[in-house]
Amino acid sequence: MSRIFDALKNAQRVREGKLKPNAPVEGAVEIPDRRRSRRWSLDVSVYVYGHGPGKEPFHEEAHTLHVNANGALLLLSVPVKRGQKLLLTNRLTQKEQDCRVVFLGTRRTRTVEAGVAFPLSNPDFWNLSESPRPENT
């Protein structure tokens, strides 16, 4: 456990500028960011509409964790599957956007993180008056 603690302390020192980052390990490959557009941490309230496993319709009010021009990461309490089609409505603007579930992430007590993708880039759906500060991760 001390190696983990040491690694965390070193990472903190690098962030604070007190320590230079280590050179990459020989043979290490940098994994490129596969996102098509910048991502922002933004809490946007959306209505989510879809069909459950038995084809019964559902809707819920959900919130985003991250948004970009091509989709979002949502916190949902309704179970969804990869490939499932959903309709989002931005609560603030009442704009609607079709999307598809492309990622299922961390399960929390009553919610799941679901990544959704728009068929076409649509940054206007989030109604950003100015570009928020981009996320560092």
**Tens digits of residue pLDDT in 43-89:** 999 999 999 877 889 999 999 999 999 999 999 999 899 999 999 99
Overall average pLDDT of the 6-24 stretch? 72
Q: What is the pTM of this model?
A: 0.67
Residues 6+ apart with CB under 8 A from 116: 71, 72, 73, 74, 86, 88, 99, 100, 101, 102
One-letter amino acid for residue 31 of the chain = I
pLDDT of residue 137: 46
pLDDT of residue 31: 54
Mean pLDDT of the chain: 82
| CATH number for region 40-126 | 2.40.10.220
Interatomic CA distance for residues 37 and 60, integer angstroms: 27
